Amino acid sequence: MRGMTNAIVVQGLVKRFGAQTALDGVDLTVAEGTVLGLLGPNGAGKTTVVRILSTLLEPDAGRAEVVGLDVVRQAGEVRASIGLTGQYAAVDEYLTGQENLEMVGRLYRLGKRESRSRAAQLLERFELTDAARRPAKTYSGGMRRRLDIAASLIARPRVLFLDEPTTGLDPRSRLGMWEFIADLVSDGTTILLTTQYLEEADRLADRMVVIDHGRVIARGTADDLKAQVGGERLELTVGSVEELARAADALRSLALDEPRCDEQTRRLTLPVTGGAATLAEALRRLESTGATVLDVGLRRPDLDDVFLTLTGHAADDERAGAPSDDDAADRTPATAGGALR
Ligand X SMILES: Nc1ncnc2c1ncn2[C@@H]1O[C@H](COP(=O)(O)OP(=O)(O)OP(=O)(O)O)[C@@H](O)[C@H]1O
* Interacting residues toward ligand X by CB under 6 A: 17, 20, 22, 40, 42-48, 87, 320, 326
Beta carbons within 8 Å of 161's beta carbon, 6+ residues apart: 50, 53, 54, 82, 83, 84, 85, 152, 191, 192, 193
**Alpha-carbon gap, residue 298 to 147, rounded angstroms:** 41
CA distance 68 to 78: 9
One residue of 6, 47, 85, 98 binding Mg ion per CB under 5 A: 47
Q: Which residues pair with 237 in a beta bridge?
A: 267, 295
Q: What is d(CA 181, CA 65) in angstroms, rounded to the nearest whole number? A: 23
Q: Smaller CB distance to ligand X: residue 101 or 208?
A: 208
54 binds Mg ion (CB under 5 A): no
Whose Cβ is closer to Mg ion: residue 26's or residue 107's?
26
Residue (75 or 320) nearer to ligand X, CB:
320
109 versus 319: smaller Cβ distance to Mg ion:
319
Please state the closest distance from residue 327 (CB atom) to Mg ion, in A.
9
- The least distance separating ligand X from the CB of residue 234, rounded to whole angstroms, comes to 35
All residues at 6 or more sequence positions from 16 whose CB lies less than 8 Å from its CB, including other chains: 22, 60
59 binds, among Mg ion, ligand X, none (CB under 5 to 8 A by kind): none
User: Which contiguous run of DSSP H or E holds residue 334?
Assistant: helix 333-336
- Residue 326 interacting partner from ligand X, Mg ion, none (CB closer than 5 to 8 Å by kind): ligand X
List the single partner that 42 binds among ligand X, Mg ion, none, CB under 5 to 8 Å by kind.
ligand X
200 vs 232, beta carbon nearer ligand X: 200
199-205, Cβ contacts within 8 angstroms, sequence gap of 24 or more? 199/302, 199/303, 200/37, 200/166, 200/174, 201/37, 201/39, 201/303, 202/302, 202/303, 203/178, 204/35, 204/37, 204/178, 205/35, 205/36, 205/37
Residue nearest Mg ion, Cβ-based: 47
Residue 240 CB, shortest distance to Mg ion, in Å, is: 49
Q: Are strands 207-212 and 260-262 parallel, antiparallel or unpaired?
A: unpaired
Q: What does the alpha-carbon distance between residue 286 and residue 235 come to, in Å, rounded to a whole number? A: 13
Residue 307 · residue 315 · CB < 8 Å: yes
Shortest Å, Cβ 12 to ligand X: 17
Least distance (Å) from ligand X to the CB of residue 89? 14
3-state secondary structure of 68: coil
Q: From the CB of 205, what's the least distance to ligand X, in Å?
A: 16
Instruction: Give min distance, CB of 133 to ligand X, in A.
Output: 33
- List the Cα angle 180/184/188 in 5-degree steps: 165
CB neighbour list of residue 97: distance below 8 Å, 6 or more residues apart:
123, 128, 131, 132, 133, 134, 136, 139, 143, 147
Q: Which does 174 bind (CB under 5 to 8 A by kind): ligand X, Mg ion, none?
A: none
Contact string 89-118 vs Mg ion (x = CB under 5 A)? ------------------------------
CB of 146 to Mg ion, least distance (A): 20
User: Residue 20 binds which one of Mg ion, ligand X, none, with CB within 5 to 8 A depending on kind?
Assistant: ligand X
Q: Which stretch binds Mg ion (CB under 5 A): 83-91, 146-154, 240-248, 292-300?
A: 83-91
3-state secondary structure of 295: strand
Residue with Cβ nearer Mg ion (46 or 266) = 46
Q: Return the number of the residue (25 or 43) whose C-beta is nearest ligand X.
A: 43
Query: Closest CB to ligand X among 47 and 96?
Result: 47
Q: In this structure, are residues 21 and 14 in contact, taking their beta carbons and an 8 Å threshold?
A: yes
Residue ranges that bind Mg ion, judged by CB under 5 A: 46-47, 87
